[in-house]
């Protein structure tokens, strides 16, 4: 079948003497690869691109057919299957999958990339957009996480940190290996809370990211943290910000000083590195490792299994609001682009709400003595 005059050039370049043994698989692989190139050109992170490509390959296996023969019913069958069973996917996860399919279909159905003409020429079928407003999940709520994911109460936070410290004491007392690692893990979780960090942000810290704050010289070189691995958005690189040490959590300074000056040098005695949280294998701690360690401590003290390390960040935001810091200050500290995002992180306690109510009643009705 000959390509019509004036049609876009083929997106597939083959040597004249090369013939694909499995033409459909060959074209599909080329589609996925070129889609990766397009996303790279947009500046997306390699991990994001690879994750999307892997999902499209899984979706193709589910459909048992190739994209030029996909139909809206295929998406609906996938969604129905994913929402059923013993472990159904969350709405947020499903919506992200549907968005990935929508983006891929936009790419292969765009005549500027030549795939419609290529598929029509080779297979007599043209790829189409299978996602539309009537078969995809709408984003109606700002916060769609599981209800069990929340900030920790003061008692829960204290129990969690006590368990982390007790693990260090137990290892030292029994003279087992791993005391330095346990101390490091305890300080990592305290740092996540004390500065409202994400897992990747704390894992990416170096010694050089510990900064002084001229406004608070009492904290020395631990008056601020320079976060270089903030969450990226819309193809941008990691966002950077400086997080100030607040006086209500100044106890973190003693822990950081103990780690940096005394404990960390013993882990890196034969290894020159600026990594703040090194491992015995001369690497950075991973976010997966932090998840596992948090889960161990969480289960040890009997906290709900829905809680993740991100709960410490939620707790930080909540506490700053309860302590009277302005919404703008809190927003800048945690690196949110919008105040509405900070608002959904906040779950102030009953004591704070009762104090706020008491102030309002006093302003309107006067104090208890009727003044």
Asked if residue 224 belongs to a domain, the reply is: yes
Is residue 348 domain-shared with residue 206, that is, in the same domain? yes
- pLDDT at position 327 over 80: yes
Distance (Å, rounded) from C-alpha 204 to C-alpha 284? 8
Domain boundary among 123, 139, 172: 123
Give pLDDT, residue 18.
Answer: 62
Q: Which of 37-41, 320-324, 325-329 has the highest mean pLDDT?
A: 37-41
Does some domain include residue 206? Answer: yes
Range of weakest confidence among 18-27, 94-103, 122-131:
18-27
Q: What is the mean pLDDT of residues 321-342?
A: 80
Say whether pLDDT at 358 is over 60: yes
Same domain, 49 and 118: yes
* In a shared domain, residues 177 and 105: no
Say how many C-beta atoms besides its own lie within 10 A of residue 278's C-beta.
Answer: 19
Estimate to the nearest angstrom the gap between the alpha carbon of 115 and the chain centroid.
33
In a domain? residue 66: yes
Q: Does the residue 14 lie in any domain?
A: no
Mean pLDDT of 26-34: 95
- State how far the Cα of 27 lies from the Cα of 1, in Å rounded to an integer: 16
65 pLDDT tier (thresholds 50, 70, 90): very high
Long-range CB pairs of 134-137, under 8 A, 24+ apart, other chains included:
135/72, 135/75, 135/76, 135/79, 136/75, 136/95, 136/98, 136/102, 137/79, 137/91, 137/94, 137/95, 137/98
281 in a structural domain: yes
Nearest to 225 by CA among 246, 238, 237: 246
- Rounded Cα distance between 130 and 66, Å, is 13
Q: Do 235 and 340 have their domain in common? A: yes
Helices and strands in the chain: count of H runs, count of E runs: 15, 3
In this structure, are 165 and 305 located in the same domain? yes
Q: Are residues 98 and 234 in the same domain?
A: no
In the predicted model, is pLDDT for residue 148 greater than 80? Answer: no
State the total domains in the chain: 2
On whether residue 5 sits in a domain, the answer given is no
For residues 217 and 331, membership in a common domain is answered with yes
200 and 313 fall within a common domain: yes
Res. 297: pLDDT tops 80? yes
Nearest to 252 by CA among 161, 360, 315, 126: 161
- On the question of pLDDT at 345 being above 60, the answer is no
For tokens 């100030």, the residue is 244
Q: Are residues 167 and 284 in the same domain?
A: yes
Same domain, residue pair 179 and 313: yes
pLDDT at 15: 47
**In the predicted structure, residue 144 carries a pLDDT above the cut 70:** no
pLDDT tens digits, residue range 211-251?
A: 999 999 999 999 999 999 888 766 667 889 999 999 999 99
The average pLDDT across 349-368 equals 60
Please spell the DSSP secondary structure of 114-138, one letter per residue. Answer: THHHHHHHHHS--------TTTS--
pLDDT greater than 60 at residue 140: no
**Smallest Cα–Cα separation from 307: which of 186, 155, 139, 157?**
157
**C-alpha distances in Å from residue 63, one per residue of 66, 82, 254, 278:** 8, 13, 57, 44
Same domain membership, residue 284 and residue 184:
yes
Q: Is the pLDDT of residue 79 over 60?
A: yes
Range of the domain at 83: 23-123
Which is more confident, 86 or 242? Answer: 242
CATH of the domain at 189: 1.10.443.10
Count Cβ atoms below 10 Å from residue 112 Cβ, excluding itself.
8
In a domain, 13, yes or no: no
Q: Is residue 144 part of a domain?
A: no
Percent of the chain whose pLDDT exceeds 90:
63
- 81 and 166 in a single domain? The answer is no
């Amino acid at each position: 079948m000959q390509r019509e005059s004036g049609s876009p050039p083929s997106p597939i370049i083959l040597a004249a003497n090369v013939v694909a043994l499995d033409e459909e698989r060959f074209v599909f692989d080329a589609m996925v690869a070129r889609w990766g190139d397009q996303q790279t050109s947009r500046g997306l992170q390699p991990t994001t691109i690879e994750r999307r490509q892997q999902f499209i390959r899984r979706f193709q296996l589910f459909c048992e057919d190739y994209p030029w023969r996909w139909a809206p019913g295929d998406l609906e069958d996938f969604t129905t299957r994913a929402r059923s069973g013993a472990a159904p996917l969350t709405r947020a996860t499903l919506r992200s999958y549907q968005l990935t399919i929508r983006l891929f279909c936009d790419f292969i159905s765009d005549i500027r990339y030549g795939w419609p003409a290529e598929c029509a020429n080779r297979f007599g079928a043209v790829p189409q957009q299978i996602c539309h407003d009537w078969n995809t999940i709408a984003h109606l709520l700002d916060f769609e996480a599981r209800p069990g994911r929340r900030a920790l109460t003061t008692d829960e936070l204290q129990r969690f940190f006590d368990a982390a410290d007790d693990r260090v004491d137990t290892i030292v007392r029994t003279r087992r290996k791993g005391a330095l690692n346990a101390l490091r893990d305890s300080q990592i979780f305290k740092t996540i809370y004390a500065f409202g960090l994400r897992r990747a942000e704390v894992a990416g810290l170096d010694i050089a990211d510990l900064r002084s704050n001229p406004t608070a010289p009492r904290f020395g070189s631990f008056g601020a943290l320079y976060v270089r691995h903030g969450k990226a958005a819309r193809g941008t690189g990691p966002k950077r910000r400086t997080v100030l040490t607040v006086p209500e959590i100044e106890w973190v300074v003693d822990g950081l000083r103990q780690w940096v000056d005394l404990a960390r040098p013993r882990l890196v005695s034969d290894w020159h590195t600026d990594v703040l949280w090194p491992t015995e294998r001369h690497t950075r701690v991973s976010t997966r490792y932090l998840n596992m360690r948090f889960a161990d401590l969480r289960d040890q003290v009997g906290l709900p299994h829905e809680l993740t390390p991100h709960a410490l960040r939620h707790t930080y935001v909540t506490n700053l609001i309860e302590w009277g810091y302005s919404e703008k200050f809190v927003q800048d500290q945690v690196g949110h682009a919008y105040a509405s995002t900070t608002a959904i992180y906040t779950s102030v306690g009953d004591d704070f709400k009762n104090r706020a109510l008491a102030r309002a009643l006093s302003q309107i009705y006067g104090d208890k003595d009727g003044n």
